[in-house]
A and B are shown apart, each in its own frame.
Chain A
Amino acid sequence: MSQQLRSFLAAVGLIAALAAAGYVAVIVGAATVIGQSETGIEESAKSDGWRGVRSGTAGRVSIPDPQAGVLIQSEGEIWRSIRNGPVTAAGAWSMFVMLILLAVFYAWRGRIPLAGKPTRREVVRFNGIERFAHWMTAASFIVLALSGLNLLYGRYLFIPVVGKEAFAVVTEAGKFLHNFVAFPFMAGLVLMFVLWVRHNVPTRVDLQWLRLGGGLLSDRHHPAAERFNAGQKAIFWIVILGGVSVSLSGVALLMPFAFPIFGKTFAFLNLFGFGLPDVLTPMQEMQLAQVWHAVVSLGLIVVMFAHIYIGTIGMEGAFQAMGSGKVDTAWAEQHHSLWAANAEESVADDDAVPAAAREGQG
């Protein structure tokens, strides 16, 4: 690997690490600050009874909703500053940086070509149910991402252009879409997990693949890979874990105050010595759910930029794997040699086929 490649990889790694660290910092910060019952916001009242009020102690109220007994919840102001501050900024920056990186990568590497000539013999890469699972998740993800981003950035981007009325109509429609499309997304997650988990267990082949930079950096290297290479396995686990997390917090937001999940999660994490606040008010639960939902979604969106890039313009022949479900045997050889060796060709081409599949390996 040339010096140039090494520094590029190092830069990408560094940025990814920084972004991840940023996300973790935002969440841990939010959890600690929002979860703290005593906050810095002072009242002018001096007597002791008032101190409890400031820190969220509830009184008695004749409304049949105990939450109404809370006089002041100072966390609201903290939630506002986290959502309108670091979450908005980190999201915008990470999307921007990812797009720049992809543009730079494309300018430098271009479209990764098919090595050698296509054999014009096809092999099934993803069957119907697999493609259904992928596209159901993908389509709902795009709807969810756009309507979600709109909630965070639309106010600044679109209101000046289309005006408040039109924006409110679109945003309300987006909210309903978001609520409903969440379900096919969750179903797609489950389906993909069931279909693909056994192909996504990390193996030693992945180390080799990673060591060679996945063949992304130069045409000379074609590291061996199984059905999924290390990069795809990473995407799989990011989508599954991120997707489950975003689904849980999403359900908490969908049915307000009915699904407190953070107190329990923090209590569990505290077994490992995290020292997070585990007694949270229903309001704190909602605030944390919103911050977490936004941060994880933004992370997934940024990762999906890269996934969509490599699956479309970034690599010759990649799209048809999930499009028609069939790939050229030469492509299979180049990118997933260990899988190609066992894959059955869809074209009944008698004895010539296995030989062709084994040719030119390496």
Chain B
Amino acid sequence: MARMKFLCDADRCIECNACVTACKNEHEVPWGVNRRRVVTINDGQPGERSISTACMHCSDAPCMAVCPVDCFYQTDEGVVLHDKDLCIGCGYCFYACPFGAPQYPQAGNFGGRGKMDKCTFCAGGPKEDGSEEEFALYGRNRLAEGKLPLCAEMCSTKALLAGDADTVSDIYRERVTARGFGGGVWGWNTAYGSDT
């Protein structure tokens, strides 16, 4: 069974935000919720790099560990999903997540949070695969259709890779060998620890 991972090649990302747009459009993500974002460090300076980031679907995921209602689950392919029917919008997963992945629609009193929303690796949620209900709550379930995440598919420079960990790291390794440099598999140690 494949272990799904994202890999962003920061030496290739040109901050075009195609991944962000693809994600927003594919899942009809509401205003103010950003499942994926592109961060540029050293902007306008030597050594400028951009990274597209979203939920990394961690092994031993911190969000899963702190959720008071235990609404997360990890699929056989390593994708971390959650059940919005259970989520109480406490925000704890956001405090624990190293990548700032969980998002909240503003809802209710005192600037209270609605149900948490985050990247699903285009794998939907606990509703029936491909159902309207699943789409409304979690977005498209492309994995069930045998497709990979759309952000990576739409990436203009193929900086963002999504898929089986062995395959994406092989592609990255090949690139690094060919061009003679590489910043490393960004975020993997944080997300996957020794399992990397």
Contacts and interface: CB of A to CB of B under 8 A. Distances in A.
Interface of A: 41-50, 52-54, 57-63, 67-74, 76-77, 79-80, 83-84, 150-152, 154-155, 159, 164-165, 167-168, 171-172, 175, 179, 254-256, 258, 283, 286-287, 290
B38 A44 contact: no
Given A71-B53, A165-B86, A171-B88, A287 B37 contact: no
Interface stretch (B135-143, B158-166, B183-191): B183-191
Nearest to B109: A179
Given A73-B98, A287-B95, A168 B86 contact: yes
Main secondary structure of the interface of B (DSSP, over half): loop
A45 B11 CA distance: 12
B100 to A, nearest CB: 6
Nearest to A164: B86
A152 B53 CA distance: 30
Contacts of B177: none
A165 B88 contact: no
A61 B40 contact: yes
Contacts of A286: 91, 95
B40 A43 contact: no
B96 A77 contact: yes
A80 B190 contact: no
A151 B68 contact: yes
Given A70-B39, A77-B62, A168-B88, 12 more contacts: A44-B185, A52-B41, A73-B97, A73-B100, A79-B96, A155-B68, A164-B69, A164-B83, A171-B69, A171-B88, A175-B89, A287-B95
Contact of A175 (B38, B88, B188): B88
Given A84-B66, A167-B69, A42 B38 contact: no
Contacts of A84: 65-66
Contacts of B90: 151, 175
A254 B189 CA distance: 33
